Structure 1
């Protein structure tokens, strides 16, 4: 596609703002301008016109003629190219009110601007030639934008994990304190989810194919008529159109439409990204409750209308909210794909107009939020240390028991005493509201030949995080940095929260 039609193009035309009709919050509050353009009428209908040009050029280059004279001329094609972007919406809308057919209305409107070419626009094609091929092109552009943002989320998480790779913190299983990990190691769990999404996205993006031009039931019968049954020439049509539109190939067979399983594949990628973002946002919300980690909070931001002291994790809550929508939305294309009848049915159309664009716009907003959150994520080491040290004696009991066995103790007997003393210390914390005194209880027990100072000296959190730091370093070195290097031209994206 020409440079001026890239998804980065900025539009200076201000759309009239109305307060007396519904406006989707996906465009009003969440999705970026770039993603909104990709699913805009300008993108859609200018792509229709490029497809009509590609078809006309292909037919001319393949020698379409009548009584020895070319059916399509260079002059007609140049006339069509001159009016790709200046779409006469008023003419198309007026015509659609008459004929109740969107494609034929735009064929008519384009023909009004291109009188010399009017008779050959859409020659041999059916509505799905422009409709379905444009849907594929638009989804490809949408996936490219999402890939750029996804790669940048991974980059920001990589930087965060590197910075905090050695910061011990309590791990949680069942949201109960468990063997310590590090802040950076936990971030690699979020990062790996997004990395898997990137693999899925790359696979789907790398396998996108155009429908091509196959006619009303996919048999290319109209081209058999146009080219007088020349099978060899007809075989060249789809590859030539694909090449002109920047694709490697078209689907080898189809009904009137491309397989709706393509939409299912795409929606599943969107849902996967949403699930990963939801998981990360939930973890951050829980950590913010613990006051260990906090999402960005602006100087003038209000957390609550009633409780002025509050710092609610609104960005992460919004991530979770939008993600839930996208995961449910993925059912739409799956059900649509399953219920297509034979070569074509139209019960997909209204559903696709909603489910595909809104899924993309929502994920676009989700990734912008993820970029904003991770870029400004605040870590509170002192709070983390306080929580860790209050639980570490419990975590250290296995090491204490092993040390006591080395000094001559009985493993089974020591295990029972550790269990009893741990339960007593737990009761002191929960029932009495006291500090964890497990180390004092162990030091006072004659079964353990070590004093309190010796036990306290062993409470270095770094001793209990296993290979967390080394795992972060290996994951970044062997998995993430090669991917970031491969996609370095996509790096540098920043995002702001609109509302």
Structure 2
């Protein structure tokens, strides 16, 4: 019956449909409240080490009950007390009667609340970074494979000078490389709130240690170290600055913008039938049109990336309206915006990895599109060849202009193929260079240094960036939905 009741309540699709198990667990109640208990244990251990009358038996009792949380009791306590932290203090104390008097000693709610958030943010980045690295790795392999495959470039979504399939992928990679550096920087900049008391002055701890400032500083250092952080913020109010949340979520929003651009490009190329995302044997593209192969993964990434970008407004507004040492109107908002940002980033990276592991390229389609546009693009080369053969540049330019307009009329008004090359071959004026036309129209002569740029970019920028993640590169992504 309980399982059936689950379908009577709203469930976030971020978790029920998409997110990885590790990211869903990172922001779960189990993870959150287990971390609270660990923080209380760290505090008790540090206080004992600095001389407070706390016994080994009390600490052992707390450690033996780190995981066995009575969520029903905690919920009932919170209904009575209207205070989540005190509800869990009481619940922990209920199973640790010996340690009950020293649980949360000297601390404020933000000792467990904010410090747990910082741990979750740090560990969230640690989940995302290898996933982002794998996306970069897959795209780098793709770029290398197609480094010299000519394709139409597009500006204003109109055919422009040729590039290569691999060079275009390097444009995507350049943005992703910025993202991995930004995420790593934001992760490394995170500090611990530490042991700061109700308004950040550490007054309660100074009283506990009878005015010994050195012991209060050492308490802060010990707890910070036990939590796995190298340093704590030197000053806080009751909370750590909510600008920290802005910094973290802005890097994720920037990643969202990158992914949206990449997946929009893939969707546009899928429309041209030049590149397609993976498509399973039994996958259905449309309930009405059985022939369709919709780019649903790329569309999902774009949809969720917009949500990720939009979430940035929450911490920006929250940081701007915090009053003096703190106000509680941040709490309910942060319960949503922080987890959802990391869950959403997690989903789009998993989906993008799946896309990049199975991108399909259709060289013949790309070649046909090039043939359709290349005669127009080759006109400058034809003019230069005629001048080298003794022709007059201005006369040649006028000849090409007239023939180009006639060919364009065939394409646009009659729906025919681009026949400019045929018109050039039939005009006696161009007889001196007819033997050069195949060479003049070789697509590889129109791609400039694109292949060399790909090789150098991958070698000097991309591969070194992936070195720290080499041990985590073999994970393959299979999407359940």
Using structure 2 for the length normalisation, give the TM-score: 0.97
Q: Map 1:322-337; keep pairs closer than 5 Å.
A: 322-337=304-319
RMSD: 1.5
Say which of 22, 28, 50 aligns to 2:38: 50
Distance (Å, rounded) in 1 between the aligned partners of 2:386 and 2:221: 76
CA shift at 1:447, angstroms? 4.8
Check conservation: 2:385, 2:433, Cα contact below 8 A.
no
Unaligned runs of 5+ in 2: none
The more displaced of 345-354 and 480-489 is 480-489
Say which of 164, 182, 187 aligns to 1:200: 182
Distance (Å, rounded) in 1 between the aligned partners of 2:158 and 2:41: 63
Aligned to 1:22: 10
Describe the superposition over 1:463-482 as per-residue Cα deviations: whole angstroms up to 9, x where unpaired: 11111111111111111111
Aligned to 2:228: 246
Kindly tell me: are residues 372 and 129 of structure 1, through their superposed partners in 2, closer, same or farther at Cα, counting changes over 3 Å?
A: same
Kindly tell me: are residues 17 and 163 of structure 1, through their superposed partners in 2, closer, same or farther at Cα, counting changes over 3 Å?
A: farther
Distance (Å, rounded) in 2 between the aligned partners of 1:142 and 1:17: 30
CA shift at 1:416, angstroms? 3.7
Q: Map 1:184-195; keep pairs closer than 5 Å.
A: 184-195=166-177
CA shift at 1:208, angstroms? 0.8
Check conservation: 1:440, 1:452, Cα contact below 8 A.
no
CA shift at 1:422, angstroms? 2.0
SS at match of 1:171: strand
Aligned to 1:433: 415
CA shift at 1:446, angstroms? 5.1
Kindly tell me: are residues 361 and 17 of structure 1, through their superposed partners in 2, closer, same or farther at Cα, counting changes over 3 Å?
A: farther
SS at match of 2:152: strand
Say which of 408, 412, 419 aligns to 2:390: 408
Say which of 294, 299, 322 aligns to 1:340: 322
Q: Map 1:97-112; keep pairs closer than 5 Å.
A: 97-112=79-94
Check conservation: 1:443, 1:451, Cα contact below 8 A.
no
SS at match of 1:178: strand
Say which of 322, 341, 344 aligns to 1:359: 341
The more displaced of 467-476 and 445-454 is 445-454
Distance (Å, rounded) in 1 between the aligned partners of 2:461 and 2:439: 37
Distance (Å, rounded) in 2 between the aligned partners of 1:492 and 1:272: 26
Check conservation: 2:152, 2:162, Cα contact below 8 A.
yes
Describe the superposition over 1:271-313 as per-residue Cα deviations: whole angstroms up to 9, x where unpaired: 1111111111111111111011011111111111111111111
CA shift at 1:213, angstroms? 1.3
Aligned to 2:21: 33
The more displaced of 441-450 and 251-260 is 441-450
Please identify runs of 4+ aligned residues in structure 1 that moved more than 6 A.
Answer: 14-17
Distance (Å, rounded) in 1 between the aligned partners of 2:397 and 2:37: 77
SS at match of 2:190: coil
Distance (Å, rounded) in 2 between the aligned partners of 1:16 and 1:276: 40
CA shift at 1:491, angstroms? 1.3
CA shift at 1:449, angstroms? 4.8
Distance (Å, rounded) in 2 between the aligned partners of 1:493 and 1:102: 38
Distance (Å, rounded) in 1 between the aligned partners of 2:258 and 2:475: 19
Q: Map 1:2-401; keep pairs closer than 5 Å.
A: 18-64=6-52, 71-401=53-383
Kindly tell me: are residues 342 and 117 of structure 1, through their superposed partners in 2, closer, same or farther at Cα, counting changes over 3 Å?
A: same
CA shift at 1:406, angstroms? 1.6
Check conservation: 2:389, 2:433, Cα contact below 8 A.
no
Describe the superposition over 1:128-147 as per-residue Cα deviations: whole angstroms up to 9, x where unpaired: 00000000000111111010
Say which of 448, 465, 472 aligns to 1:483: 465
Check conservation: 1:218, 1:255, Cα contact below 8 A.
yes
SS at match of 1:179: strand
Distance (Å, rounded) in 1 between the aligned partners of 2:5 and 2:368: 52
Check conservation: 1:49, 1:84, Cα contact below 8 A.
yes
CA shift at 1:262, angstroms? 0.8
Unaligned runs of 5+ in 1: 1-13, 65-70
**Larger % of helix: which?**
2
CA shift at 1:214, angstroms? 0.7
Check conservation: 2:383, 2:396, Cα contact below 8 A.
yes
How many residue pairs align between the two structures? 480
Distance (Å, rounded) in 1 between the aligned partners of 2:4 and 2:41: 31
The more displaced of 281-290 and 454-463 is 454-463
SS at match of 1:348: helix
Distance (Å, rounded) in 1 between the aligned partners of 2:402 and 2:321: 62
Using structure 1 for the length normalisation, give the TM-score: 0.94
SS at match of 1:302: coil
Distance (Å, rounded) in 1 between the aligned partners of 2:229 and 2:417: 66
Distance (Å, rounded) in 2 between the aligned partners of 1:213 and 1:49: 15
SS at match of 2:98: coil
